[in-house]
Structure 1
Amino acid sequence: MNASSKNIVVLGGGGRTGLLSVEEARRAGHRVTAAVRTPETFPATRSENLRVVRADVRDSDSLDDAIRGQDAVVSAVGPSGRRALGLYSDGARATVTAMQRAGVARYLGITSVGVRHDDPHFSWWYRHLVRPLGRDLYADMSLMEDLVRATDLDWTFVRPTYLQDRPATGAYRVTDNSCPEHGWRITRGDVARFVVEEVARSRWSRRAPSLAE
């Protein structure tokens, strides 16, 4: 461990982006807690600086142990299908409550560029094909952001474009509250790397960085 290492909890740490965020944070030398529904099936290699705990992101009481003592909370939760079923907004309510009880202020939530419905840089196919299909997801992500934004937390909403399961490129663009022009995709690995770097540097406090290659 080094002097700049932090305590980071990743909610949804067993998901595709969450797991990559856990691994990226470990490689960066941070002490990481992966909060998951089923710790028994957690696939990452256990190590000295990794703790895996059971938590239900909709239940603030179950989040207490995961969040207590952390320097930052990363929300990488997401449903398995096209309907949110209130996961983002319910999770935000529970997480905010648990963070306030624990006195933890730094929050990074992974949402999507689709949250901003009037983004001028959307391509026609994203605006007319992809976004309508994800309308329920984006609406619940938007509510999640509103709930967190209404608190005194030090928040950042990380908004990737279309997530792809390819190796991280390290070559992507970031703009505030707007999709990078002509950008439409980003690797999950690059998103995880951005999140972990933002935990350490806090360059996008109270802003919504949007990511695309």
Structure 2
Amino acid sequence: MKRILILGATGRVGQQWVAQALDDGHEAIVLVRDPRKLTIVSDRLTVLQGDVTNPQDLIHAAKRTDAILSALSTDGGTVLSQCAPLLIEAMRQNHIRRLVTVGTAGILNSRTEPMLLRYQSNESRRTLTRAAEEHHQFYKQIAHSGLDWTIVCPTYLPDGEHTGIYRVLRDYLPADGLQISVQDTAAFAYKQLFSAEYNGSRVGIAY
């Protein structure tokens, strides 16, 4: 049994992770601002109220955990860039190596403009890049942390089914990839906790 800290546990991907970790017999620790948003109950689930931008909250939540899953979003502001150095320090203080996060396909390498990321290139269909810029800042800090990290980067992310049938590619979005369900994204990212195949990599995922 592992002790897994899950950040962003009340979101669509995070809720999938909590359920999967508990189903697999692991212990899940979640750090949430509003515990009322978490409906799962288990004697192997520890719910801590706090804020990921508070260093002491993160350090406390990470105590005696084996790995961290993060599905934190930009939250319309600078949560990711604020959290990154605090998360790195909390992991160092608690001697945690493994970090798996969900990012965005915008921070993958561009196929059409090789010196750019997708959100910076003509591949991007979005006129607003603020969220991708936040994910980019998070990625840059994690990439230089010395941790065993993996960032799973889905494109359009609707609710759907867990099919187990999808394509993944290191540092690029699979060609012509248009979408991937929350369920398949969560399942793939969860599996990376127990694999070193994509350590130190961004991973594009799509159908």
Partner residue of 2:201? 207
Distance, in Å, in 2 between the alignment partners of 1:128 and 1:206 is: 24
Report what 2:4 is aligned to. 8
Partner of residue 103, structure 1: 95
**1:76 shift after superposition:** 0.6
Give the distance between the partners of 1:192 and 1:26, measured in 2 at CA. 14
* TM-score after normalising by structure 2: 0.90
Q: Which amino acid in the other structure matches residue 87 of structure 1?
A: V
Q: What stretches of structure 2 of length at least 5 have no aligned partner?
A: none
Q: How many residues align?
A: 200
| Counterpart-to-counterpart distance in 2, 1:35 and 1:120 | 39
Q: Which runs of 4+ in 1 moved over 6 A?
A: none
Establish whether residue 115 from structure 1 lines up as the match of residue 111 from structure 2.
Answer: no
Task: Give me the identity figure in percent.
Answer: 27
**Cα 1:78–1:32, aligned 2, differ >3 Å: closer, same or farther?**
same
Match in the other structure for 2:133: 139
More helix by share: 1
Partner of residue 37, structure 2: 41
Report the equivalent of 2:69.
74
Structure 1 alignment gaps of length 5 or more: none
RMSD value, Cα: 1.8
SS at match of 2:162: coil
Describe the shift of the 1:153–1:117 C-alpha distance in structure 2 as closer, same or farther (beyond 3 A): closer
The CA deviation at 1:48 is 2.2
Q: CA deviation at 1:62?
A: 0.9
Q: Is the contact made by 1:7 and 1:69 (CA closer than 8 Å) also made in structure 2?
A: yes
Q: Deviations over 1:79-99 (max 9, x none)?
A: 45xx4x211111112111111
What one-letter code is carried by the residue in structure 2 that aligns with 1:109?
T
CA separation in 1, counterparts of 2:3 and 2:123?
A: 38
How far did 1:128 drift? 4.7
